[in-house]
Amino acid sequence: MPHVWNLRTKRCFTAISKCLADIQERVGFRVVHYSVQGNHLHLLVEAKDTQALSRGVQGLKIRLARALNRVMERKGKVFADRYHARILRTPTETFRCLMYILKNSRKHAKSHGRTYPPGWVDPYSSAVFFEPFGGVWVDRCAVFPRQREVSKPRTWLLKVGWELGGRADPNKIPGSLW
């Protein structure tokens, strides 16, 4: 909603991070990767079926709304509309989605004329926990240290299948040629 603060602030992100950590490993639903943007979130989740997905997202939205309202010292609606779901079926599709989520801030930075050092990853995403980006540079003044807010993937596509779709390079910008 328009009155909600920028989610990429330490106060809002701390609340979001706690909510993500609290819902890990719910029955049939788990957040595997995420990216927090100024006014929305990108989530890559595993769900056993559409009902588990719906209930998991609904529960997460309620937790997030309550937590963010506490931070902003207000009441009321936080999210304007429902979520958009897309089932990933191929390694290439999974790779592209994963890279889009983990490197979304790099894409937006380029469109605003900003650049980041080589190897930089977004501290407001699960990219800091993504092993193929291991050893990358992270802005330590952001929101660290913190706990792992995401679950380890259990499906073949998110464990290893995505690797057939391309090479994970933290410097490439989503939307550019892989």
**Residues 85-124 pLDDT 10s:** 899 999 999 999 999 998 888 777 766 677 777 777 888 8
d(CA 109, CA 86): 25
Side chain identity at residue 62, one-letter code = I
Q: Tell me the pLDDT tens digit for each residue of 56-67.
A: 998 999 999 999
* Cβ-based neighbours of 110, under 8 Å, separated by 6 or more: 173
Mean pLDDT lowest for which of 46-50, 54-58, 126-130, 172-176? 172-176
Give the residue extent of every domain in the chain. 10-165
Give the 3-state secondary structure of residue 21.
helix
What letter represents residue 126's amino acid? Answer: S
pTM (two decimals): 0.85
Q: Residue 166 forms beta bridges with which residues?
A: none
Nearest CA-CA partner of 150 in 60, 18, 14, 21: 21
The string of DSSP codes covering 82-135 is --------SHHHHHHHHHHHHTHHHHHHHHTT----TT-B-TTBGGGG-GGGTT
